[in-house]
A and B are shown apart, each in its own frame.
Chain A
Amino acid sequence: MKLTLVTGLTGLLLLATIVELLRRRQLREKYGMLWLGLLFVVIPLSLFPRLLDGVADLLGVASGVSLVLFLGIVFLLLVCIHLSWEVSALEEETRTLAEEFALLRAEVEAERTERAEWTRRLDRTEVVSRDG
């Protein structure tokens, strides 16, 4: 009974955290939905740990709890791989932005030097014409 209380409360706490993060718009919806979906599986399981025993038996796993542990690790690994993939994509995006930015800055600086050159030349002709 004590154990069920601990696992159940942990599940509810996680649920509250995710909802709060989503409410404050600090978590992209796709990740929020992912974790919410997971919690809707985990919370019933934390209250009734025997729920998966039937499925475990079918797969040849000794107990439902072991099956949950196994699936949990696989799921977390998949999430980690997905995050590495997202980070790689983000790095590629920032790299492209940095290059674009450097090109624009070079462009702007070249133009500015050219304009400065022109203004100087115009000033000089003005001085010359005033003198003449």
Chain B
Amino acid sequence: MVDGERLLIIIPAFNEAASIGDVVGEIRGELPAADVLVVDDGSTDHTAAVAITAGARVARLPYNLGVGGAMRLGYRYAHDHDYDAAVQVDADGQHDPRYVPKLVDLLGDHDLVIGARFAGEGEYTVRGPRRWAMAVLSLVLSGLAGTTLTDTTSGFRAANRRMIEMFAHWYPVEYLGDTVETLVHAARRGYRIQQVPVAMRRRMAGTPSHSPTRAMIYLGRALAVLTLALIRR
């Protein structure tokens, strides 16, 4: 990281009181120079209070908007407060903040840097329809972006000023819009995208779903989102 650059860590959180304190604490320990903004997406638990106690700034949405709404708010905050870079991190603790400098370092030559699983580092495997969906997504998006993207649905991303400006004004609110559609949109408009291999950790709270029906539904929705994103202006 270049000294003197202002960095904002954006954490969208919906009912994450169990893990948000540790996540914020760890980030502040690893990255003392960065500001942490927790976007409380209409939580009904103590997410906001826990985050404030842990030393984060908190923006509280009056009701649940979904990840897309929370993220646009985060980027608007970054835009309004003139940050040089913004990194979005999940509230469940699966993203290791020690990778943040690695992501931010690449922001000079790239507008959007994605922390990606399956790119050599760490162990993370998926099977069945979920895997097919990810394969199709990464194939199409890699082609669009002109670079290899193995983990298109990763919520671990760093954005520079140009990207923040775009996300502050345009950020889709629909399912997978925050990951797939933003990538299509950015790649088409000539923003430079790059991925960095990262190891994901186990979530501190909550469990990922493994039901085959859910995986099929995921495949269908992912393909629908991708098709729509491709035919949209």
Which one of B63, B69, B73 contacts A103 once the chains associate, using CB atoms below 8 Å?
Answer: B73
- Bin chain A's interface residue count: 10 to 19
Which one of A99, A109, A110 contacts B73 once the chains associate, using CB atoms below 8 Å?
Answer: A99
For the complex, what is the distance from the CA of A46 to the CA of B122, rounded to whole Å?
A: 73
The 8 A CB mask of A73-96 against B (1 = contact, 0 = none) is: 000000000000000000000010
Say yes or no: B39 contacts A98, CB within 8 Å: no
Interchain residue pairs with CB less than 8 A apart (17): A95-B65, A98-B63, A98-B69, A99-B61, A99-B65, A99-B73, A101-B61, A101-B62, A102-B60, A102-B62, A103-B76, A103-B77, A105-B60, A106-B57, A106-B58, A106-B59, A110-B57
For the complex, what is the distance from the CA of A109 to the CA of B60, rounded to whole Å?
A: 11
Q: Counting CB contacts under 8 A, is B72 at the interface? A: yes
A91 CB to nearest B CB, Å: 8
Which one of B57, B61, B77 contacts A98 once the chains associate, using CB atoms below 8 Å?
Answer: B61
For the complex, what is the distance from the CA of A101 to the CA of B59, rounded to whole Å?
A: 9
Question: Chain A contacts of B60 at CB under 8 A?
Answer: 102, 105-106
Look across to chain B and name the residue whose beta carbon is closest to the beta carbon of A104: B59
A106-B63 contact given A95-B173, A99-B69, CB 8 Å threshold: no
Say yes or no: A102 contacts B39, CB within 8 Å: yes
Look across to chain B and name the residue whose beta carbon is closest to the beta carbon of A99: B73
B79 CB to nearest A CB, Å: 10
Look across to chain A and name the residue whose beta carbon is closest to the beta carbon of B64: A98
